[in-house]
Structure 1
Amino acid sequence: MTKVEDFEQVRPMLQSIAYRILGSVTEAEDAVQETWLRYEASPAEPASPKAYLSAVVTRISINVLRSARVRREDYVGPWFPEPLLDDQYQDPARSAELADSVSMAALVLLERLTPLERAAFVLHDVFGFGYGDVAAAVERSEAACRQHVARARRHMQAGRPRFRVDRRERAELADRFFDAFRDGDVERLRTLLAEDVAVVGDSGGKAPRWGSGIFGVDNVARLLTALVVPFLRIGGVVEPHQVNGQPGAIFWDHSGRIINTWALDIVEGRIQTIHAVTNPDKLAHIAPVADGWAVVHDTIQARSNADTTKE
């Protein structure tokens, strides 16, 4: 095959690796593009283009992540990855298997690892690369890579809930949740939320945020139902959609611009966490971004008008 054919065959995998290391769709796309440019310019003809290209995209991603971590130290509020609507991995069955590794909860845990730990873990535990290939990619010994993976694995296992729900049950629960949410049904919502449910938002200081978060079933249920009816009244749309391999939704304004995304973390048959991304910089790769402040203003105004009418 030609270099172009070799590259295009593994491009979806390269994108998937880069995103899991970086937590950014746009930075992952840039890393994959840079990988192609280096491959195209290289006179070498590797015995395994897959191993070669995976190593190149990993090294590029590690360098980008080191720079990004410095910027994220000054980030305003919680940091979440850029929402991923569709994993580009070519094999649907394999993509489903990898879904948990790309969830918001998993990527937030990965953010706490060193770049080398994160890359080694992604290559070995997520994509099944042998330690020899991992060592070549991160330019460390196999023994060092085993230590990196072991530390990352312990951290990831410690941070994950003990009991999860299978994918079909999660999808069914999410359907019931969004039906109750759009109906503004507080009591139905309460039955679907964990007692200590949390709504946490990533605005980056550039859009409305949920403060430090909204916590507890009563607070969350009341807040969500108070906002959804006036939001729908002003032409807002709540579109259920997979976000980072988990049940979630995309929120649109009346003109079809994106407002935010939600990803639902479901544990033991209840919604445990709602990760909301409102930072416009993290939504622009999906669609044109709405003015979040204007949407909130109009929603509150519509609710106030409705309350006045009732009186």
Structure 2
Amino acid sequence: MEELYDQYRALLFTLAYQLTGSAADAEDAVQDVFVKACDVHPERLEEPKAYLCKMVTNRCLNLQKSARKKREMYVGPWLPEPIRTSEEETIETKVVRRDLLSYAMLVLLERLTPTERTVFVLREALGFDYPEIAELLGKQEANCRKLLSRARSKMGISEGEPVAAEEVELEWVSRFLTSLEQGNVEHVMSLLTEDVMFIADGGGKAIAFRHPVQTSDHVAQVLLDGIHSLRSNFQGDFHFEFVPLNGETSIVIRSKDETVAVLFMQLRRGKIARMYAVRNPDKLARL
């Protein structure tokens, strides 16, 4: 079992994380599956990858159903929990396409039903064949194809269209932060699309907008006010770090040993179209 754990843990964690959007839930699901696998007859583990993936998938489907009920009571928008990833190729990036680890993709996955999300992740992120997916879910191949098509439609991805995110370069981010710190409203607005959206997750435990903020002028003002608030609340004792999270460059705001927030940016034609701010301390504890 230790050998199976070493061989498949990264794959199973990635699958569970993509299905739940929670590193904590993903780790619990993987641990639970390996504990239960210890009692499985060896004959049933002749194809361990398929069997373990099916166990994790079933566990996560149950988690997704209960999570939907909890999120109905969640304070403000719910955003996925960020995870640290390496800029170099790792086991995780070998088993899942790097663009499908992106934070924006995780947010899009929230539009799907648990079954649609499972089919999309297995097919698009992990490259499972339709017969494998059908076997894992106990469905017909044709049904799985329809589920994938429906999932792509809900996510706004056309059939056959790549889902790669536009890369955010460090130099570009540095200029953006400099403009914010200098209070250069015009330059900040020039880096935002007109229909830009800012979404923050405080979970009722940190100050955050309870509804998405839209349009470049409103978002620019929110960001500039945010810098002013940081200076006031932390007496200027805060700093920005560029950290590889979810396979991309993110901005982590820290004050001493405290992680204050994580910012993700989704670009469209070189401008910010979406910005996600994770402020819920429960989702920052691992960073």
TM-score by length of 1: 0.80
1:29 corresponds to which residue? 27
* Higher fraction of helix: 1
Q: Which runs of 5+ in 1 are unaligned?
A: 287-311
Paired amino acid for 2:90: Q
Paired amino acid for 1:90: T
Q: What's the secondary structure of 2:42's corresponding residue? A: coil
2:260 corresponds to which residue? 259
1:228 corresponds to which residue? 227
Q: How far does residue 99 in structure 1 lie from its aligned partner after superposition?
A: 3.1
Q: Is it true that 1:279 corresponds to 2:280 in the alignment? A: yes
CA distance in 2, matches of 1:92, 1:105: 18
CA distance in 1, matches of 2:162, 2:186: 27
1:298 corresponds to which residue? none
2:2 corresponds to which residue? 4
CA distance in 2, matches of 1:7, 1:89: 20
1:19 corresponds to which residue? 17
CA distance in 2, matches of 1:164, 1:55: 27
Q: Is the 8 A contact 2:206 2:280 kept in 1?
A: yes
CA distance in 2, matches of 1:80, 1:239: 20
Q: Is the 8 A contact 1:243 1:262 kept in 2?
A: no
1:132 corresponds to which residue? 131
Structural mapping, 1:111-190, within 5 Å? 111-158=110-157, 166-167=166-167, 170-190=169-189
1:249 maps to which of 251, 254, 273: 251
Q: How far does residue 162 in structure 1 lie from its aligned partner after superposition?
A: 9.7
1:70 corresponds to which residue? 69
Q: How far does residue 18 in structure 1 lie from its aligned partner after superposition?
A: 0.4
Return closer, same or farther for 1:111/1:214 CA change in 2, 3 Å cut-off: closer
CA distance in 2, matches of 1:219, 1:157: 25
1:194 corresponds to which residue? 193
Return closer, same or farther for 1:94/1:13 CA change in 2, 3 Å cut-off: same
Q: What's the secondary structure of 1:241's corresponding residue? A: strand
CA distance in 1, matches of 2:201, 2:22: 14
Q: Is the 8 A contact 1:120 1:134 kept in 2?
A: yes
Count of equivalent residues? 281
CA distance in 2, matches of 1:227, 1:272: 18
1:296 corresponds to which residue? none
Return closer, same or farther for 1:234/1:140 CA change in 2, 3 Å cut-off: same
Paired amino acid for 1:259: V
Q: How far does residue 158 in structure 1 lie from its aligned partner after superposition?
A: 4.4
CA distance in 2, matches of 1:143, 1:213: 37
2:241 corresponds to which residue? 239
Q: Is the 8 A contact 1:248 1:264 kept in 2?
A: yes
Q: Is the 8 A contact 1:240 1:250 kept in 2?
A: yes
Q: What's the secondary structure of 2:253's corresponding residue? A: strand
CA distance in 2, matches of 1:185, 1:219: 14
Q: What's the secondary structure of 1:252's corresponding residue? A: strand
Q: How far does residue 22 in structure 1 lie from its aligned partner after superposition?
A: 0.3
Q: How far does residue 184 in structure 1 lie from its aligned partner after superposition?
A: 3.7
CA distance in 2, matches of 1:142, 1:30: 30
Q: Among all aligned residue pairs of Structure 1 and Structure 2, give the percentage whose two residues are the same amino acid.
A: 35
CA distance in 1, matches of 2:163, 2:272: 13
Q: Which runs of 5+ in 2 are unaligned?
A: none
1:305 corresponds to which residue? none
Q: Is the 8 A contact 1:174 1:248 kept in 2?
A: no
Higher alpha-carbon deviation: 121-130 or 140-149: 140-149
Paired amino acid for 1:285: R
Q: Is the 8 A contact 2:180 2:227 kept in 1?
A: yes
Q: How far does residue 93 in structure 1 lie from its aligned partner after superposition?
A: 5.9
Give the RMSD, CA atoms, in angstroms: 2.8
1:307 corresponds to which residue? none
CA distance in 1, matches of 2:111, 2:197: 20
Q: Is the 8 A contact 2:230 2:236 kept in 1?
A: yes
Return closer, same or farther for 1:181/1:241 CA change in 2, 3 Å cut-off: farther
Paired amino acid for 1:278: R
Q: How far does residue 226 in structure 1 lie from its aligned partner after superposition?
A: 4.2
Higher alpha-carbon deviation: 77-86 or 227-236: 227-236
